[in-house]
Structure 1
Amino acid sequence: MSQLDTVIQKSISMVPECLAAGYVDLSSGMLLAIKTVDSHPQDVMEMLAAATADLFQGPNVVTIENMWKKSRGLPMDDYHYFQEVIVNSENLIHIFMRTKEYPNHVVTFVCRKSANLGMVLTKARIALPQISGAL
């Protein structure tokens, strides 16, 4: 996992105003890696994997995903319609991105809200294959 930690640390310096990045395995519910530039409460870190799973696999999300797939004639099997989720909080931008190689893995970035959202997305998308390739 040290290679994953190294790549995540590098991505933090690449994504504008990035404060933290993590790697979540939705199927196991585990936070496989996390790097931050500041200290955060441990209980928040422990909830990251569960909250990420809710965003991508909550019952209502799965229902909406299946409705979109059906209406567009897409396969109903393991294909996931939603690939990215962006959450803007009062002070932060939270980006959650499903990896292409491992559809049940999500990389998350947390940036200051003052960052340019377009640049955050662009740099996060560039970093995504490098991070998933490190696993």
Structure 2
Amino acid sequence: MALNELMDGTLRALPECLAVCYVDMPEELVLTRRSSRAFSQEVLDAVATLASRLLEGRGVAEAWRQAAVAPEEERPGEAILANDDFTCLFLRMEKHDEHALCLIANRGADVAQMRLAGRALGKDIANIL
């Protein structure tokens, strides 16, 4: 099954989900995305930057490591951000840890359901890459 088909399946399974993005964190680039609504390039660029900052050891991830007195190589595997409009879940890919998934949903979406679907999607993607 192709990457885009897997992402489409996640969109269908999560009614509140508006987009699923596959991000290259070192390059801060959305490699592919599937969405039920249009997002500007600026929003996609911000998603890629946030994934990198939150999961890859710059910005918030570095502060987390210091606060937790965690080893330098230990990085967070997920992060959640919410604003007045959206809830965003960032998940580091297990077998491709320089990549991440970002699920963008309406504010107030069921985060636990997003996490389950995102983790399942990550495993499915890892199996095809």
1:40 and 2:32 correspond: no
Please name the residue that 2:65 is paired with: 65
How far apart, in 1, do the equivalents of 2:27 and 2:78 lie?
Answer: 20
How far apart, in 2, do the equivalents of 1:106 and 1:27 lie?
Answer: 10
Task: Please give the residue correspondences for 1:1-135 in structure 2 after superposition, counting only pairs within 5 Å.
Answer: 3-56=2-55, 57-65=57-65, 68=68, 70=70, 76-77=72-73, 79-80=74-75, 82-135=76-129
TM-score normalised by L of structure 1:
0.79
Aligned length: 128
Identity %: 19
Residue deviations 1:81-124 (CA, integer Å, cap 9, x gap): x1110111112211000111111111000111242222222222
How far apart, in 2, do the equivalents of 1:44 and 1:53 lie?
Answer: 14
Q: Based on CA coordinates, which of the two structures has the bigger radius of gyration?
A: 1
Alpha-carbon RMSD: 2.2
Residue deviations 1:32-91 (CA, integer Å, cap 9, x gap): 111110112222123321222122232452253255354xxxx544x42x1110111112
TM-score normalised by L of structure 2:
0.82
Structure 1 alignment gaps of length 5 or more: none
How far apart, in 2, do the equivalents of 1:97 and 1:40 lie?
Answer: 20
Secondary structure of 1:24's counterpart equals strand
- Partner amino acid, structure 2, of 1:15: L
How far apart, in 2, do the equivalents of 1:4 and 1:14 lie?
Answer: 16
Structure 2 alignment gaps of length 5 or more: none
